[in-house]
Amino acid sequence: MQPETVKIPVPEDYPMDAHQIVAFSRRLGFPLLMVSADREVLLDCEWLSPAEIDRYRRHLTMLLQ
């Protein structure tokens, strides 16, 4: 069973705030739910295949460096 959401940590010194990260990610086509109070990106995985989850996780992790 695949997870409904995947959490990806956002570095403390990342130059965008939560709203900017969500807006930017959605413009790129990522199925992003939100950035949590713990500065974690929550990726909506409900309708994604395991391969898509891995791809989005890798891409978001690279973008958030």
Residue where the block lists tokens 């898509």: 52
Domain range spanning residue 51?
Answer: 5-63
How confident is residue 3, by pLDDT bands cut at 50, 70 and 90? Answer: low
Q: What's the confidence (pLDDT) of residue 4?
A: 80
Number of domains within the chain: 1
Widest Cα–Cα separation across the chain:
35
Distance CA 40, CA 60 (A): 11
What pLDDT does residue 25 have? Answer: 84
Q: Convert the pLDDT of each residue in 11-65 to its tens digit.
A: 888 898 888 888 888 888 888 777 888 888 888 888 888 898 898 888 888 888 8
Neighbours of 19 (CB within 10 A): 10
β-partners of residue 34 are: 42
